[in-house]
Structure formats: structure tokens, C-alpha cells
């Protein structure tokens, strides 16, 4: 056991830090620091900078464009992104479908999609949930019926984040209804411009348009767009969800949020002094900092045991549960720290292109939007209750 960084790691840390200082666009940094979603143009601009450096997909195997970093280097990189308020890449391409394609896809699919993911030329969205299939994902009903070299897809997906910007959707569809529900699912890659696809926006609690309904009406998808075998899609879907669980904890970003909170309590006035003098409030801040440390070292311990060749089953579900609980608690505390200025709230577009700023101190602009949006964190990626079911079954054998 050894917690120290080697000299190479310290040099690497300095290299990452310097790169971010020089190359992270100020507008991207500001939005992310406030907890606001990046706009598509800004996200793509930033992701291309990362890709030019070769750092867009540290978790990919080197042969497909990964960095070949050690677990320690990956940890340092994530920490430095968080510290600099640099957003990690939008997950749907790099973290979700990319690994499915290089693990289960054929050569043609790898050649076609992977470079475009790395260079942010394709914007992906995720077609998993349906109106009748949330936690019971395998009950999904969107049908794909074989017709010559195509599948004909009919059905509906819902809660599809950023679908309005997407070029492609990776979709779970039902190709067989005769046996167990998990055994009749296939994994398709579908061009969003295909005739028969329509979108309907869903305005979220944060008054923003992130979520969508996606309708498929006789949508023809070439069979060659199927990943792996027909009816084996559930295996690929679970693989993707397993990857998602580890990346969803966002520990480095939560660390940065604690720093923000500690900045705010030095500025928010209270009884002639500052909020930092309020022991009740500060106790909550201290508690969340300890909770985050416990999660951080748990993630490191898991990374270390993966490096040592141990196979984890559902342990990463812990990271998802605790990571999202902390994110939610932190944004709750950020809002709480604002006092009365926690109440003013308007959709972002009101201020876009205008010189008028929202009321209240500058730091009050952001926390509520993120607090509202992150209510989803304990629901998406498999709800935290489903994660507990998974640990109960896979780890505890109950």
C-alpha cells in the first residue's frame, strides 16, 4: 500500500494543469463552474481541443485512440479537470457508445464511428427509456422488424437528453417477443435524420430543454447498423450501464463545488459577520467534505484493485449511489447558502444576448439550475434504488 505519487505522476499533474490553464476557453469554464450545461457549440469546441491533445478518451484502449494512462494518471487527469472547472466530454459518445462499439462492433463500425466520436463530429444520444420502461428497462416495446436489409423500427423513447442536437442515437429495440424479455433485445445505431423520426421537447424542472421524447414511425435502419448479434443487445446494454456507473460519480466536480461553497460562505453576510461563522451551516459543509473524501478513496481503492487484476461485480454501483447523493446534497447546500437569493429563478435564455444580469450576487447565478437538474442524478443511469437492488443481488447474494 502506498499513497504517494511517483515523480512521473507529479510531472504529469503539472503538465495537465498547465495545459488546462492555457487551453480551457473562459466561457466554457465559467458555465461549468456555475453548474450550467455547456452549449453544443462550446462543448464541441472544447472537446476538439482535448482531442487535438489526444486526451479526449483516456479510458479507451490505445489502439482505438486512448491514452494508455495508468489508473493514477487517469485519477490525476479527472482531478485536474475538476479543479480547473473543465467539463469532461459529453458522455453519450466517448463514455457510452464508444466502448460498446470497440468492444462488440465489427471493423466497419469501428472505422466509421470511433474517429468521429473522438473528434466530436457526431453528437450521440441514448435511446434506452420508454414511457412504460424505466427501471424495468428490459420490458421495452420499441419494435424492430426485419425487412430485407433493413429493420423497420416503430415505437417511442423518452427522457432522451440532448436529442435535439444529436446526429445519431444508440437504441435498444425489441427484435423478439417470444422468450424472456431480456433475450429479445437488439442494439441499433440510428441516424437521427432518417425519415420517420420526430422529436418532442420536454421542459425540465430547471425550465430548460434538455430532455425529449423521440418517436419512431416506420423508420428504416440498415441491418449493418446493428451492434453484435440480434437479440443479444441486453448484454451490450448492461456493459454500457456498468461503465456509466463508474463515471457518473463526478468526484472531482464535487470537490470543486465544495471550494465554491467555501468561497460563498466567506461572502454571504450574516449578523454583521459572514455565513462561515454559522456553526450549524458549517457543520453540514464539513460533513459533506468528509463524505466526499470517503467516496474519493473508495473510488481509488476500486481502481487499485482493478489494476491489480481483480474483477469487480457491482461494487461500482456504490460510486453511483454515493456520488449522486453527494452531488445533490452539495447543490442543495449551495442554494441554501444563498439565503433569499435562492428564490429568484428564470430560464437562462432570458439573459442570453442581453447586458442585463440576473439579480443578486454573481455566485447566485447557477446553483438553483444545477440543483433542479441534478434531481435527475439519483434517477438516471439506473435509479439509486435499482443500484441497491444490484448490490444486494450481486455482492451480498440476497
Partner 1 sequence: MDFELSEEQNLLKDSVDRFVKENYSSEARIKLSETDLGFSRDHWKQMAELGWLGMPFSEEVGGFGGSAVDTMVMMESIGRGLVLEPFLATVILGGGLVAAAGNEKQIEAIVPEVIEGNMMLAFGYAEVQSRFNLNDVETSATKSGEGYVLNGHKAVVYHGGCADKIVISARTSGNSRDADGISLFIVDKDASGLEIRSYRTVDGQQAADITMSNVTVGADALLGTEGDASPVIEKVVDTAIGALCAEAVGAMTAANEITNEYIKERKQFGVAIGKFQVLQHRMVDMYMEAEQSKSMADMVAMKLDLGYEVDTKKAVSATKAQIGKAAKFVGQQSVQLHGGMGMTDEYSIGHYFKRLSTIEMLFGNTDYHLNRFSNLS
Q: What is the binding site for partner 1 (CB under 8 A)?
A: 1-5, 9, 71-72, 75, 282-283, 286-287, 289-291, 293-295, 297-298, 300-301, 304-305, 307-308, 315, 318, 321-322, 385, 388-389, 391-392, 395-398
Is the Cβ of residue 10 or residue 347 nearer to partner 1 in the bound state?
A: 10
Which of 315, 320, 182, 338 has the alpha carbon at shortest distance from 264?
A: 338
Find the shortest distance in angstroms from Cβ 135 to partner 1.
12
Is the Cβ of residue 235 or residue 389 nearer to partner 1 in the bound state?
A: 389
How much is the CA Rg of the chain, to the nearest whole Å?
A: 22
Distance CA 144, CA 346 (A): 41
SS3 61: coil
Contact between 339 and 293 under an 8 Å Cβ cutoff? The reply is no
Which of 130, 244, 268, 370 does the annotation list as catalytic?
244
Is the Cβ of residue 26 or residue 396 nearer to partner 1 in the bound state?
A: 396
Is the Cβ of residue 121 or residue 291 nearer to partner 1 in the bound state?
A: 291
Is the Cβ of residue 348 or residue 379 nearer to partner 1 in the bound state?
A: 379
Q: Which three cell numbers stand for residue 264?
A: 460563498
Instruction: Establish whether 289 is a catalytic residue.
Output: no
Phi-psi region of 88 (alpha: psi -120 to 50; beta: other; left: phi over 0): beta
Find the shortest distance in angstroms from Cβ 6 to partner 1.
9
**Backbone phi and psi for residue 331, each to the nearest 5 degrees, phi listed first:** -70, -30
Q: Which three cell numbers stand for residue 160?
A: 432522451
Which of 46, 41, 42 has the alpha carbon at shortest distance from 81?
A: 46
**Backbone phi and psi for residue 286, each to the nearest 5 degrees, phi listed first:** -65, -40
Which of 287, 371, 289 has the alpha carbon at shortest distance from 328?
A: 371
Hey, which residues are catalytic here?
244
Amino acid at each position: 500500500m502506498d499513497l504517494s505519487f511517483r515523480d512521473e505522476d507529479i510531472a504529469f499533474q503539472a503538465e495537465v494543469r498547465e495545459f488546462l490553464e492555457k487551453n480551457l476557453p473562459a466561457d466554457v469554464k465559467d458555465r461549468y463552474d456555475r453548474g450550467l450545461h455547456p452549449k453544443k457549440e462550446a462543448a464541441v469546441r472544447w472537446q476538439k481541443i482535448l482531442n487535438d491533445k489526444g486526451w479526449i478518451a483516456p479510458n479507451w484502449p490505445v489502439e482505438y485512440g486512448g491514452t494508455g494512462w495508468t489508473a493514477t494518471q487517469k485519477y490525476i487527469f479527472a482531478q485536474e479537470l475538476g479543479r480547473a472547472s473543465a467539463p469532461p466530454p459529453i458522455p453519450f459518445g466517448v463514455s457510452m457508445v464508444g466502448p460498446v462499439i470497440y468492444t462488440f462492433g465489427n471493423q466497419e463500425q469501428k472505422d466509421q464511428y470511433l474517429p468521429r466520436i473522438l473528434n466530436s463530429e457526431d453528437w450521440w444520444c441514448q435511446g434506452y427509456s420508454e414511457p412504460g420502461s424505466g427501471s424495468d428497462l428490459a420490458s421495452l416495446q420499441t419494435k424492430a422488424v426485419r425487412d430485407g436489409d433493413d429493420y423497420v423500427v416503430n415505437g417511442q423513447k423518452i427522457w432522451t437528453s440532448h436529442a435535439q442536437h444529436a446526429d445519431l442515437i444508440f437504441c435498444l429495440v425489441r427484435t423478439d417477443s417470444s422468450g424472456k424479455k431480456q433475450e429479445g433485445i437488439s442494439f441499433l445505431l440510428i441516424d437521427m435524420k432518417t425519415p420517420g423520426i420526430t422529436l418532442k421537447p420536454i421542459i425540465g424542472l430547471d425550465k430548460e430543454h434538455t430532455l425529449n421524447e423521440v418517436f419512431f414511425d416506420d423508420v428504416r435502419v440498415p441491418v449493418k447498423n446493428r451492434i453484435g448479434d440480434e437479440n443479444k443487445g441486453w448484454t451490450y446494454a448492461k456493459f454500457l450501464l456498468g461503465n456509466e456507473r463508474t463515471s457518473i460519480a463526478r468526484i472531482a466536480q464535487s470537490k470543486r463545488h465544495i471550494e465554491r461553497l467555501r468561497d460563498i460562505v466567506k461572502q454571504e453576510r450574516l449578523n454583521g459577520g459572514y455565513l462561515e461563522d454559522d456553526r450549524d451551516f458549517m457543520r453540514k459543509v464539513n460533513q459533506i467534505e468528509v463524505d466526499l473524501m470517503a467516496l474519493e478513496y473508495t473510488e481509488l481503492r476500486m481502481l487499485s484493485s482493478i489494476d491489480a487484476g481483480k474483477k469487480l461485480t457491482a461494487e461500482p454501483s456504490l460510486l453511483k449511489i454515493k456520488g449522486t447523493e453527494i452531488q445533490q446534497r452539495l447543490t442543495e447546500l449551495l442554494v441554501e447558502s444563498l439565503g433569499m437569493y435562492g428564490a429568484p429563478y428564470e430560464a437562462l435564455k432570458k439573459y442570453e444576448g442581453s447586458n442585463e444580469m440576473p439579480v443578486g450576487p454573481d455566485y447566485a447565478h447557477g446553483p438553483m439550475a444545477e440543483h433542479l437538474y441534478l434531481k435527475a442524478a439519483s434517477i438516471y443511469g439506473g435509479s439509486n434504488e435499482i443500484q441497491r437492488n444490484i448490490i444486494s443481488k450481486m455482492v451480498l447474494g440476497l
